[in-house]
Amino acid sequence: MATTAPRKTLRLGREAADIDRAASILRDGGLVAFPTETVYGLGADATNDSAVAGIFEAKNRPAFNPLIVHVRELEAAEALAVFSDPARALAEAFWPGALTLVLPMREGAGVSELVTAGGRSLAIRMPDHPVAAALLAAADRPLAAPSANPSGRISPTTAAHVLGGLEGRIDAVVDGGPCPVGLESTIVGFETGPVLLREGGIPASALEPCLGQKLVKGADEEQLSAPGQLASHYAPAASLRLDATEPDDDEFMIGFGKTPGDITLSENGDLVEAAARLFSCLHLADESGKPIAVAPVPETGLGRAINDRLRRAAAPRGT
Ligand code: TXA
Ligand code: MG
Rounded to the nearest integer, the mean pLDDT of the chain is 90
**317 or 276, which is more confident:** 276
Q: Which protein residues are within 6 Å of ligand 1, measured from CB?
A: 36, 38-39, 41, 65-68, 100, 102, 116, 119, 121-123, 127, 145-147, 184-185, 187, 197-198, 225-228
pTM for this prediction: 0.85
* 43-79 residue pLDDT tens: 999 999 889 888 888 988 765 678 999 999 999 999 9
What is the residue-wise DSSP string for 76-141? HHHHHBPPPHHHHHHHHHH-SSSEEEEEEBPTT----TTTTTT-SEEEEE----HHHHHHHHHHTS
Give the residue from 250, 234, 257 showing the smallest Cα distance to 293.
250
Query: Which 8-state DSSP code applies to residue 156?
Result: P
Run of H or E residues at 196 = strand 195-198
Report the separation in Å between the CA atom of 63 and the middle of ligand 2, taken as the mean of its atom positions. Answer: 13
Q: Is residue 24 predicted with pLDDT exceeding 50?
A: yes
- Residue to mutate, 42, 52, 68, 166, ligand 1, most ligand atoms under 8 Å from C-beta: 68
Ligand at shortest distance from the CA of 154: 2
Ligand at shortest distance from the CA of 111: 1
- Give the separation between CA 142 and CA 106, rounded to whole angstroms: 14
Run of H or E residues at 126 = none
Give the confidence band of 301 by pLDDT, cuts at 50, 70, 90.
Answer: confident
Mean pLDDT of 267-284: 87
Residue pair 20/135 in contact by the 8 Å Cβ criterion: no
**55 or 38, which is more confident:** 38
β-bridge mates for residue 101, sequence order: 124, 188
